Amino acid sequence: MDKFIKGEKVLYSVNGVCEITDITEKVFGKTVMRYYVLKPISNGEATLFVPVNNENLVRKMKKLMTQPQLDEVLDAVSSKDVEWNSNEVVRKEEFRNTISFGNIGEILVLLKSIWLHRRIQNSKGRKLHISDEMYLREAEKIIKEEISTVIGVEQDEVIPYIKNKILI
């Protein structure tokens, strides 16, 4: 039995919100494999094929949350204290894992951490490290697509909405 159904919208790692347009079988040599066929909503030209039996890829597919679930997550993130990991190598690995495998709450905590660190850096006349800026953009893209879909607003309204909810 498949974990997802045709027509469902999912969050798929850095590809953002995608619609499952089909669940199909493809033959490669003598092997038949089942695939989820995903269409990113931000790029109607792209088509992604995710093997149903590839746990590493399927676990990157996450169900979209509901508005009440989002409100609960935003409340939790608002009250969570975040710390900045000063070890760049470890921080990059943590950010990469959160972007690839993290749930919306974990991605929001990552964003809160970067936003607060950027505020501190700006007060010192400094900028974010380039890799932190890259992870910030990736996380914001994921969040904007999912939350705009959940609450029914334009993507450019999402970041101010989140910052207001988590008191940044």
AA identity, residue 52:
V
Q: Return the SS3 of 58.
A: helix
Q: pTM of this prediction? A: 0.75
Rounded distance between C-alpha atoms, residue 168 and residue 151, angstroms: 20
Rounded distance between C-alpha atoms, residue 164 and residue 126, angstroms: 24
Rounded distance between C-alpha atoms, residue 168 and residue 159, angstroms: 10
Place of tokens 């893209």: 141
- Dump pLDDT digits (tens) for 55-101: 999 988 988 889 999 999 999 999 999 999 999 999 999 999 998 88
Question: What pLDDT shows up at residue 1?
Answer: 59
Question: What pLDDT shows up at residue 44?
Answer: 77
Question: What pLDDT shows up at residue 156?
Answer: 95
Handedness of CA 99, 105, 106, 108 (dihedral sign): positive
Asked whether residue 145 carries a pLDDT value surpassing 90, the answer given is: no
